Amino acid sequence: MRSTLLQLSILIAVLVTSIVIFSLGFTQRDHYGLLDLIKGRALTGDIANPHSSPLIPDTKTPPSPTLPIPQPSAPPKTTTARTNNNLLAQVNHLLAQLASSVVPSVVSIDTSTTVDQRRLVPNGPLGIFGYVQRHKRYRKPGLGSGFITSKEGYVITNHHVVAGVDEISITTHQGQTYQAEWIGSDAIVDIAILKIIDPENKTFPALKFGDSNQTRVGEMVLAVGNPFGLSETVTKGIISAKQRQLSDATNQYLQTDTVINPGNSGGPLINVHGEVIGVNVALFTGQQNVKVWQGVGLAIPANDVQEVFEAIVHKKPLIRGYLGVDLAQVTPYIARQVGMTRSQGGLVTRVEPNSPAATAGLRPGDVLLSINGKVSASASDLINTIRSKDAQTQLTLEILRDAKIVKLTATISAKPDNTSITMRGDTSATGQSLTAELGIKVRNLLPKERAAYGLAQQTSAVLITQVDPAKPAAKRLRKNDLILSINRNTVRNVDELYQLLGSLPDKQQSVMTLAREGTLFYAVLNPGK
């Protein structure tokens, strides 16, 4: 018991001694400790506020700078916000002004086509006396967009908008409707030239062409047209890409993210200067395994359009050289792989069979460096050089093959028409026999195939399962293409396809609308030629 009390006493003594020593260490400071509490010292304001200034400044340590007392913050300045708002208002005003200056030159194109629908009906009960052919005629309307390109009333639109139609009428921005005559078309580029028939010879507001070669990726553009019959619809976007496929056998397109819908075909793509830099032609709907819209539109470059216009209206020669090659840009990686010290020229990725390139001996994997001694920095420059040459022009090609420089000689030819398909126009021919004449086999889509293509169950489409390489369809159609419509009549199943093919007008162009890997394209059918 005594030892326990002794230990407790020693512990209390040590604790008290420690407190005293700790408190004495702060005697030179204004500190309120345990001894102050025991002595009954009052808690003063200076001690209570450790951040208050000492009564006697410490001469050894310079006094801390006095912090300003926070004041209520003043309202923020609005100069920057107002400036930004003014800039946005100016941009908004200029865009509206640009659209209003373009819209008066954009027209709505209405077409009418006579459809002679033929079908076999039973002769007698249950067809015991065979079948007889019955004809049913009706007028099929169509709709598209176009724009006036001269004060005399010349109008540019897509060829597929007016191909095979019987009547064409044009409605202007002012709401006046005129009959129009077809002046000419280039099915390869998909451009048609119309002329407004105006007895009064009025002057029409016209748009000017811009230089599509100078168009840069990222530039802002407007697409104007009449989608779904809604006149003067304007959408805004940018140029997303140029020359999606570097080939002298296919059309080049400008890619844009402006919204392009059915009825926009033939409408202009406008730059910020109010110039036409392209003609809207197609909508990309996504790869067949992608089930969402990709927001990609395609437009024919203005330079190609103007070339067709000058050839048809002013009878200028149309130069469109063809070698038969697909090229890819030579990247630094490709340059290293083939032994080049820098990137230049174009890598040959495909050679068209029986083409001038094939005859000259070009092969996939060659790097085309120069044409007639002129070294090209890019594949697009090479394509433009080929297209600028007249048919029968001889070219000296310098290529890199197996790390060696090789020279070849090639003769340019005219670009072939891979758009039009010639077929017989036998009025007694059935749809089945005409598909055989074209060289295709078709069937209805299965539900799982619709899912793979990203097509809704109600979307009209028929699948091409086979294309005979020796038949006319081989120049334009491929296996797994989807047939969507003929002369704007939807193709919901194989029976409807046969019926529409069997009722095509003789010696008159018709348009088949198809889709390939998400991209819409057109084939021009020429029955009876």
Which positions are catalytic? 160, 190, 265
Instruction: Measure CA of the first residue to CA of the last residue in the chain; give whole Å.
Output: 130
Residue environment code for 337-348, b if the CB has 16+ CB neighbours within 10 A, otherwise e: eeebeeebbbbb
Q: Token pair for residue 425?
A: 């126009």
Tell me the C-alpha distance between 147 and 103, whole Å.
9
Residue ranges in 249-337 assigned as alpha helix (H): 302-313, 332-337
User: Cα separation of 266 and 161, whole Å?
Assistant: 8
Q: Which of 435, 396, 432, 433 is nearest to 412 (CA)?
A: 396
Contact between 483 and 511 under an 8 Å Cβ cutoff? The reply is no
Q: Is 490 helix (H, G, I), strand (E, B) or coil?
A: strand
Q: Collapsing DSSP states into helix, strand and coil, what is residue 521? A: strand
What angle (nearest 5°) sits at the alpha carbon of residue 23, between those of residues 18 and 29?
155
User: Token match 């793509």: residue?
Assistant: 269
Residues 6+ apart with CB under 8 A from 16: none
Q: Shortest CA distance to 452 belongs to which of 285, 288, 286, 287?
A: 288
Reading the block at residue 340, the tokens are 């080049």
Q: Is the Cβ–Cβ distance between 191 and 185 less than 8 Å?
A: yes
The answer to whether 383 and 371 are in contact (CB under 8 A) is: no
- DSSP letters along 38-57, please? HHT----HHHH-TTSPPSS-
- Helix and strand numbers, DSSP H then E, in the chain: 12, 27
Determine phi and psi for 147, rounding to 5 degrees: -145, 150
What letter represents residue 404's amino acid?
Answer: K
- Separation of alpha carbons 382 and 410, rounded Å: 14
Write the CA distances from 196 to 111, 142, 205, 291, integer angstroms: 14, 18, 12, 42
Distance CA(31)–CA(36), nearest Å, equals 9
431: enclosing H helix or E strand: helix 431-438
- Torsions phi, psi of 245, nearest 5? -140, 120
